[in-house]
Structure 1
Amino acid sequence: MAKVSSEALGNESIGSLLIKQAVPASIGILVMSLNILIDSIFVGNWIGPIAIAAINVVLPVSFFIAALGMSIGIGGSSIISRALGSNNKERALRTFGNQITLTLLFTVSLVVIGLWFVDDIIPMFGGKGDIFEPAKIYYTIVLYGVPILAYAMMGNTVIRAEGKPMFAMIAMIIPTVGNLLMDFVFIYIFDWGMYGAAWATTGSYFLCTAFIFWFFSSKNSELKLNLRHLWLKMDIISEIGSLGGVTLARQAVVSITYLLMNNILFDLGGEALVAVYAIIGRMLMFALFPVFGVTQGFLPIAGYNYGAKKYPRVRESINTAIKYASLIATMVFIGLMIFPAEIADLFLSNRADLPDKEIMLNAFVLNKTPTAMRWVFLATPIIAIQLIGAAYFQAIGKAVPALLLTLSRQGFFFIPLILILPKFYGELGVWISFPIADILATIVTAFYLNREVVATLVKPLEKQTSP
């Protein structure tokens, strides 16, 4: 594999760089999304739709703790990209060392708390009725591996900040392949049920972390740490916290959204509607993988060039990223509008020996999911503006606008909508909240992004070129 220097982020053409960064990121996200998607298909076919609902209850809890690693990774990677862009290698090393220390301290502490309050947390997130017991099994086992996952998620963003997206892609592929193989062995062959699904997921975390550790120990990485780099430094912690807090806040809002959605849908239609949302949730993770990949590829390019004060390249990276991501999002939208029933059917077992309750549950889920899916993804073609716009502020180190724009869709618009609209429109009110929130958040982001670009990228250049 060719070795790529971080300096390429400031020299190669933006279109070429974005493809080089976004394609591996997209493939990595695709593989991880396929992991969740196929895992759900296996669980739905081999265990049942209640098991899918149980995993959906657990995901926001474990993902929030894992998101600590990602938030520390993204916050620190913004510093690393800008430090490498300005040739400050020592600051990049110190930041990476602090990222490792913070990740382990926070995630281990939260896992202990999460295990202590397990019987309170699961019902809070919608794990009620028949969902509770399988959710508790899955939650307890998966939580053991979450610190390992958090370290892997943190390390992955640092690899990308170094300008080595191929290694970041491999780091995301390894746990996916491992999880699917272990799913087959533990669930299908050994018939371990929810225990098998949980141990397959936890085992995959360890595989990913092993590769991340190898990368930073090898000659492929520019970041060679000493023990002194692990000691926490307050100015770096503060900047990691302010920038990483954007990602953490976003995941916190996602977790709150799952909590509200699972409870609202359970009240409207019981376990069956929770299962419908579980399928749609998997598609929200899977279908938009290339858009998220472009966003991830955009971050180090914008951050490096901003640190190097190459403002025309920063502006070009914004326009190119939005153009690529919008085109992809439109293609995804067309596919989801045409094939929602076929997608839903993938998650459900057609075995003739199913109990009557399971057969009725499958029929209900298959009937409800297509219409719900069309509503949820209705505004997909325009979401690239919101994603790239929020990511830009994070890439250049402006934490407050990045935080506000990141929270705009789910925090400021979606959560109020799902609390209000179902009271008037029932189940439909839940689903139409998605496109309304997307449209409102995109309008707000477009306004602030345009204002920032004019103020920081266009006007300084005009002053330089004016006589």
Structure 2
Amino acid sequence: MKKREAMLANDSIGRLIIRLSLPAVVGMFVNGLYNLVDTIYIGHSVGALGIAGLSVSFPLQMLIGGTGAMLGIGSASIISRSLGAKNYKRAERTLGNNIFSVMFLGVAFAVLGKLFLDDILKLFGATANILPYAKDYMAVIFLGSPLILFAMSMNNIIRSEGAARTAMASMLIGALTNIVLDPIFIFILDMGVRGAAIATVLSRVLVAGWISHFFYSGKSIIKPKLNQIHPDSGIIKEILSVGFPSLLQHASSSFVFGLINNLAGIYGGDLAITIFGISNRVIIFSSMSVIGIAQGMQPIVGYNYGARKYYRAAKAVRLSNLIAMGICGAVTVLLLLFPKAALHLFTSDTNVLEKGPAALRIMVSGFFLMGYNKIGGVFFQALGKARPAFIINLARPILFFVPLLMILPRIFGLNGIWLAFPLADVLSYLLTMAFLLPYERRLKNQYIQTQGDTP
């Protein structure tokens, strides 16, 4: 048994969660710096309209990122279960199909951005003042889509075999490169918003090199093989089936953010779009730790479920939920107490600093519940249970957020947009609990039936 397989099968669950989640948390924080640093530099160079341009661009970046997550999480689920069942050939076929899908969809995004950029940006809330900034940014990001998809999907696959530190290192390389290149392209070369996008794409070039080195250095359990990089309909169907909830979550969030941009423009103008853009960056960056914990949990649950060690899979999700909700609670308190300090990091615009803190306080008041929803969705994906993962990931943005956005602004105006955030968090928490608690009990019963008693 390979060392990492033995670790997933036998180490204590608490130690495994810390060992695999900590690098993932660090990696996610670092990965979150891509958009965070871009926004900070743009806010202090181009100004509020530049931030608004990034706010309009962000839903499109989420669509690209969601596609990478779909391919990566879907492939990682198959690979981790295949490794648990000692089916190495299937794991390698899955890796090859992932690479094929990344190349195909990456080119598709680049072509789409080239042909329909203006129309797409207007659909996502770009006003006449904001459109030039959003266009400068997304024209470059669309061209770099193949690299972005490759980096995101492969990091999930690397984590699926327990190599969390390698995945973290690839994120560190990308983010640190982006931080170094941003001021060069934005300030020194005076390229503004376009410079930020160029720095982001170039940083992914180094990430792709690092990931390729890992797979061909002999350090990975599996490695890409040229004769496996071709479509296998069965494997691609399973990748899409398991990973689709992640794409749907990103796509639905993208739709919601585009809707918020449009509503914010109606009820509060360009200033409201800027406030949303900054506040949304703060919330998403704050959620990176929870996503990292979920990513660290995924190979533990997937491997032990594939190895029929059901009790360990159930224990992993319980501990992950406790940690995630504790972190989200601490972040909620900090943002409720110091919202202006968070906003001031991005801008010195007096209008934003005057109107923004109240909006941010409302938006984050239900953030302490977010961890439970994130962990629940990834848990079902790790088991290959597409239906509950689909429902959980869809619930917050579509089942709850959209109706709330259709109703609340008509009653409370601009504040109704901000109120939709905590209400969606509460409803999502209740739905996830309804799915997750019964399945935890089912896993415990399966263990008792196969092993006799819980350890």
| 2:85 equivalent to 1:98 | no
Distance 1:210 1:217 in 2: 11
Note closer, same or farther for the CA distance 1:229–1:428 as it changes in structure 2 (3 Å cut).
same
Aligned to 2:343: 344
Deviation per residue, 1:387-436 (Å, 9 max, x gap): 11121111100001101111111111011111111011111111111111
| 2:444 equivalent to 1:446 | no
Aligned to 2:318: 319
Distance 1:211 1:6 in 2: 23
| 2:39 equivalent to 1:52 | no
1:7 Cα deviation after fit: 3.0
**Retained in 1: the 8 A contact 2:294–2:320?**
yes
Moved more, 284-293 or 454-463: 454-463
Within a 5 Å distance, the mapping from 1:359-378 to structure 2 comes to 362-378=349-365
Within a 5 Å distance, the mapping from 1:329-340 to structure 2 comes to 329-340=328-339
Aligned to 1:358: none
Distance 1:291 1:34 in 2: 15
Distance 1:150 1:66 in 2: 7
Aligned to 1:175: 174
1:34 Cα deviation after fit: 2.6
The one-letter code sitting in structure 1 at the alignment partner of 2:52 is A
Q: Which SS does the other structure have where 2:174 is aligned? A: helix
Distance 1:165 1:463 in 2: 31
**Retained in 2: the 8 A contact 1:175–1:207?**
yes
Deviation per residue, 1:209-253 (Å, 9 max, x gap): 121111112111121232221122121111101011111111110
Distance 1:52 1:459 in 2: 51
Q: Which SS does the other structure have where 2:129 is aligned? A: helix
**Retained in 1: the 8 A contact 2:309–2:447?**
no
Which of 447, 455, 462 lines up with 2:442 in the alignment? 455
Moved more, 108-117 or 249-258: 108-117
Aligned to 1:200: 199
Deviation per residue, 1:114-156 (Å, 9 max, x gap): 2201121111111112101111111111211111110111110
- 4+ long deviations beyond 4 Å: none
1:284 Cα deviation after fit: 1.6
1:464 Cα deviation after fit: 5.5
Within a 5 Å distance, the mapping from 1:218-297 to structure 2 comes to 218-297=217-296
Distance 1:300 1:464 in 2: 22
**Retained in 1: the 8 A contact 2:34–2:200?**
no
**Retained in 2: the 8 A contact 1:242–1:399?**
yes
The one-letter code sitting in structure 2 at the alignment partner of 1:125 is F
Question: Would you say how many aligned residue pairs link Structure 1 and Structure 2?
Answer: 452
Query: What's the TM-score, normalizing by structure 2?
Result: 0.96
Aligned to 1:437: 424
Distance 2:171 2:159 in 1: 12
Moved more, 203-212 or 118-127: 203-212
Deviation per residue, 1:132-188 (Å, 9 max, x gap): 111111111121111111011111001100100000001111111111111111112
| 2:68 equivalent to 1:81 | no
Aligned to 1:72: 71
Q: Which SS does the other structure have where 2:384 is aligned? A: coil
Q: Which SS does the other structure have where 2:190 is aligned? A: coil
Give percent identity, aligned residues only.
Answer: 37
Aligned to 1:129: 128
Note closer, same or farther for the CA distance 1:463–1:73 as it changes in structure 2 (3 Å cut).
closer
Aligned to 2:307: 308
The one-letter code sitting in structure 2 at the alignment partner of 1:34 is L
